[in-house]
Amino acid sequence: MSTVSRREFMGWMGRAGVGATLLEVIPFNIARALEAAIEEFPLLWLQLSNCSGCSVSVINTIHPSIENVLLDQIIPGYQLVLAFQQTVMAASGELAVKVLDRTHEEYKGRYVLIIEGAIPTRDGGVYGSLGETAGKPVPLADRVRTLAPDAMAVLCVGTCAAYGGISAAKPNPSGCMGTGEFFKREGISTPIVNIPGCPPHPDWFIGTVAHILLLGLPGAEDVDEHGRMKLFYGTTIHRSCTRRDYLDDGVMAQKPGDMGCLLELGCKGPFTKADCSRRSWNSGVNWCIGSGGPCIGCTDPSFPDGCCPLLVLPGGVSS
Amino acid sequence: MSATVRVKLDPITRIEGHLSVETVIEDGVVKEARAGGTLYRGFESIMQGHSPLDVIQFAQRFCGVCPTAHAIASAQALDTAFGIVPTENGRVIRNLVGGANWIQSHLLHFYTLSVLDYVPGPYAPPFIPRFEGDYRLPKALNEQLMEHYILALSMRLKAHELSAVFSGKMPHSASIVPGGVTIQPTVDRVTTFLWRLRELRNFIDNYYLPDVIAIARVYQDGFETGIGPSNLLTYGSYDLSLEPDVTKRKRLLQMGRLVDGEYRDFDPARITEEVRHSWYTDSGPTHPSEEVTVPMPGKTDAYSWVKAPRYDGEVYEVGPTARVLCTALSGESPAMTEVTNQVLSEVRVAPDVLRSTLGRHLARAIETKFVADAMQDWIMEFQLGQPVCAEFSIPDTASGVGLWCAPRGALGHWIQIEEGKVSRYQAIVPTTWNCSPRDDSGQPGPLEQALEGLAVRDPDSPIEVLRVVHSYDPCVACAIHVVDARGNERGTFRAV
């Protein structure tokens, strides 16, 4: 089905002695036509009220690497095209904003909208904007209103995008809300898949994208009541916690740095659904509880308001 | 014929956060510049009423690129409020976790965020569209730098892994707490850290530093553009001793100021924030420990959510240039003087060029090597089997301060505790200094000053503006905020 991959195309250009100079002048459409036999999925990645931690976490993907994600077909025959992503894209200003407009026009119903960060809605959305139209800043909420209805699907990367998260924590100064709540208010019916976590694990993002490429959008049987894929968020941290034995043996940490079950220090593992304890983080190097930090519940829809206090001292004193 | 155009870049991409930069260009030269964030989050009010033990996790979420710096500054604010100092193991692990993320952040900044200003990438998204500029590296070097761009993606990831060995996970670590950390330095962790660090040091010495120097040699004019204020400020970083007063600590990177080329001391009591041109209710110059942040969208003459921090009422730039020069000129660090001289002599430039567009990149590379080399020694300072966390209790009433450096520059956190809860929290982050708007007396902020006088070849493709902005490595989610930058219209308005 595929003729030439993006990487092969660029390698071929190099071998043919076509250097950077010519590459610069070849029209975008020719490059695209050469890849026409591959099914392309343009991705528009909007950063709203966020800290960029989700982006930085996703680029920690190892198999596939982020290089593979940018240049290769992560599933044979399917090419992701990261058309708009503010952390990596070359263009700035109006030149960058035009990519949003053009993809919206050319790929109606076929692009995937990725949302990172919560949507600021207070006072008409003045607390967050992206670019201008006719000299007026365009609120982030308006960008979502424009782009979401024509997307094939919306992936909410991180707890802020999914449920409001830390951006919407009390007293929620900028009136932030998660995408699902915003869609309900605005009557937008584009399918949503939530990939919560503060930040989410790169495998959760790549896995959700792979599911869409291979099997289509996750069905009702694939997700839980909070719109998360059961594959990653099916059981609690506690169920397979590496410190579970301590609880069974009644060994409870009483102060930071103690060995033992972290429940009495405020661990949210018993109700937080995610596979951190089995998957581990940063290429399997470690994870929160592995380093002695209690789970703070960052994949839970109630995070952070419903998870505080995040760390407690059972006796009021750490000694 | 005089041609005036007003050019607004919104969004500035390849930075952390939401920033817009508006310039007035007359006859090809920037006459006036205004910088501001385009997002307000209001973390200070979110933290009020919380347990003090929550703030380390909240403060990290200021920024997903430099969360460990916020974790450490915040933990330090709690240490001082609780009247404790970290254990020795806690000190070493905080330094190592912070250092690992320092490497991560600087590799990300140079390769992922900045290289594309000098090297045209492949002809495919996200490398196109792009501003067409005076890309002038030889073809072979161009291709080599793109290979290193790809390689750096995996090295940056390895730096995150390095940090996670002792921080649990990245971004947003789990192990940093008041009094130290929660993780034991076991022999397996110590050994894997040592060898992971060795791999990164190899990349810093044999790729990162040479690549910055290679670009600097070809784009020599980058040493004459983007000159910021002559006042430089740094709080220092990486504790080598543990006096209760953080300003008295011996540090790897020195605390201090540089004024007209002279090293001076630093007194945190002289910091104020001014908000005449920011969207907050006016309060006059106020010390951060007494500040109240009340948003006021629509305020007259305001054009930014970023506040204007000043020292003795003066504009100061923070960041790698301030750190390298203050450390070298403090007389406390012959090693820093040596590595700086070595790099500068390779490019054949004098130390004062570090205040320029490319100088900031050079300073960043110099201090990356300096910190990574020091980390190698710190690993051997562990006291295996000794406590990682000091004992503490939460006082009813207390105040504390954390003074540290994020990869982008001086980072201060101030906390007040009443009835055992957070009653006030303020942070002044590096980008608040560097991307500050005009202050109460009308002085433009560092980035605004650095842009003034800049030659822009083509206002439709203002790559020169991007190069100056990126040299500051803005981190706007930390700093925060603008709404609408409508000033007096002059000439034609153009949004690029």
Average pLDDT, rounded, for chain A? 89
Residue B421 contacts A, CB cutoff 8 Å: no
User: Which pLDDT value is given to residue B430?
Assistant: 95
Confidence of residue B300 (pLDDT cuts 50, 70, 90): confident
Confidence of residue B491 (pLDDT cuts 50, 70, 90): very low
Q: How far is CA B166 from CA B91, B172, B427, in A?
A: 12, 12, 25
Contacts of residue B71, defined as CB under 8 A and 6 or more positions apart, other chains included, come to B56, B59, B60, B173, B176
CA distance B159 to B173: 14
Instruction: Summarize pLDDT for A94-134 with one digit per residue, the tens.
Output: 999 999 999 999 999 999 999 999 999 999 998 888 998 88
Residue B107 has pLDDT above 80, yes or no: yes
CB A177 within 8 A of CB A208: no
User: Which pLDDT value is given to residue B435?
Assistant: 94
HEC string of B55-86 equals HHHHHHCCCCCCHHHHHHHHHHHHHHHHCCCC
Higher pLDDT, B222 or B35: B222
Mutate to test the interface with A, among B8, B19, B20, B41 (most CBs of A within 10 A): B41
CATH placement of domain B42-452: 1.10.645.10
CB A114 within 8 A of CB A155: yes
CA distance A197 to A39: 30
Higher pLDDT, B162 or B306: B162
Residue B477 contacts A, CB cutoff 8 Å: yes
- φ/ψ of B221, rounded to 5, equals -65, -20
HEC string of B353-394 equals HHHCHHHHHHHHHHHHHHHHHHHHHHHHHCCCCCCCECCCEC
Contact B64 A55 (CB under 8 A): yes
Percent above pLDDT 70 for chain A: 87
Residue A36 has pLDDT above 90, yes or no: no
- Residue window 443-472, chain B: list those with CB within 8 Å of chain A: 466
Residue B375 contacts A, CB cutoff 8 Å: no
User: Which pLDDT value is given to residue B347?
Assistant: 92
Instruction: Summarize pLDDT for B146-160 with one digit per residue, the tens.
Output: 999 999 999 999 999
For the question of residue A201 being annotated catalytic, the response is no
CB B460 within 8 A of CB B496: yes
CA distance B227 to B359: 9
Residue A30 has pLDDT above 60, yes or no: no
Compute the nearest-CA separation of B183 from chain A (Å): 5
User: Which pLDDT value is given to residue B485?
Assistant: 27
Q: Does ipTM come in above 0.95?
A: no
pTM for the model stands at 0.93
CB A104 within 8 A of CB A39: no
Instruction: Summarize pLDDT for A254-285 with one digit per residue, the tens.
Output: 999 999 999 999 999 999 999 999 999 999 99
**Where do runs of H (alpha helix) occur along B83-138?**
88-107
Provide the token pair at B415: 């906390």
Mutate to test the interface with A, among B6, B7, B9, B13 (most CBs of A within 10 A): B13
Residue among A24, A66, A198 minimizing CB distance to B153: A66
- φ/ψ of A32, rounded to 5, equals -70, -40
Cβ-based neighbour number of residue B145 at 10 Å: 21
Instruction: Summarize pLDDT for B239-278 with one digit per residue, the tens.
Output: 999 999 999 999 999 999 999 989 999 999 999 999 999 8
Catalytic residue among A156, A176, A201, A298: A298
CA distance B287 to A110: 52
Q: How far is CA B274 from CA B206, B315, B437, in A?
A: 44, 11, 9
User: Which pLDDT value is given to residue B382?
Assistant: 96
For the question of residue A156 being annotated catalytic, the response is no
Confidence of residue B480 (pLDDT cuts 50, 70, 90): low
Closest C-alpha to B376, from B162, B181, B221:
B162
User: Which pLDDT value is given to residue B299?
Assistant: 86
Confidence of residue A1 (pLDDT cuts 50, 70, 90): very low
Closest C-alpha to B228, from B427, B21, B403, B435:
B435
Residue A32 has pLDDT above 70, yes or no: no
Average pLDDT, rounded, for chain B? 92
Amino acid identity, position B75: A
Provide the token pair at A4: 């030439």
Contact B12 A93 (CB under 8 A): yes
Residue of A nearest to B465 (CA): A92
CA distance B173 to B183: 12
Percent above pLDDT 90 for chain B: 83
Residue A21 has pLDDT above 80, yes or no: no
Looking at residues B224-252, what average pLDDT do you find?
Answer: 96
Confidence of residue B325 (pLDDT cuts 50, 70, 90): very high
**For chain B, what is the largest distance between any 2 Cα atoms, rounded to a whole number of angstroms?**
76
CB B95 within 8 A of CB B102: no
Contact B46 A173 (CB under 8 A): yes
Residue A2 has pLDDT above 60, yes or no: no
- φ/ψ of A207, rounded to 5, equals -65, -40
Contact B116 A90 (CB under 8 A): yes
CB B394 within 8 A of CB B205: no
Residue B396 has pLDDT above 50, yes or no: yes
Catalytic residue among A156, A176, A201, A238: A238
Residue among A14, A126, A287 minimizing CB distance to B168: A287
Instruction: Give chain B positions within 8 Å (CB) of A174.
Output: 40-42
Confidence of residue A15 (pLDDT cuts 50, 70, 90): very low
User: Which pLDDT value is given to residue B375?
Assistant: 98
Contact A130 B392 (CB under 8 A): no
Question: Strand, helix or coil at B308?
Answer: strand
For the question of residue A308 being annotated catalytic, the response is no
Confidence of residue A39 (pLDDT cuts 50, 70, 90): confident
Cβ-based neighbour number of residue B27 at 10 Å: 11
Confidence of residue B139 (pLDDT cuts 50, 70, 90): very high
Residue among B38, B389, B495 minimizing CB distance to A257: B389
User: Which pLDDT value is given to residue A12?
Assistant: 40
β-pairing, B421-428 vs B492-495, is unpaired
CA distance B429 to B405: 9
CA distance B55 to B172: 13
Contacts of residue B219, defined as CB under 8 A and 6 or more positions apart, other chains included, come to B118, B136, B358
Instruction: Summarize pLDDT for A159-218 with one digit per residue, the tens.
Output: 999 999 999 999 999 999 999 999 999 999 999 999 999 999 999 999 999 999 999 999
Percent above pLDDT 90 for chain A: 78
Residue B38 has pLDDT above 90, yes or no: no
Q: Output the DSSP codes for B148-163.
A: HHHHHHHHHHHHHHHH
Catalytic residue among A63, A176, A276, A307: A276
Confidence of residue B295 (pLDDT cuts 50, 70, 90): confident
Q: Which conformational region is residue A227 in: left (phi greater than 0), alpha (psi within -120 to 50 degrees), or beta?
A: left
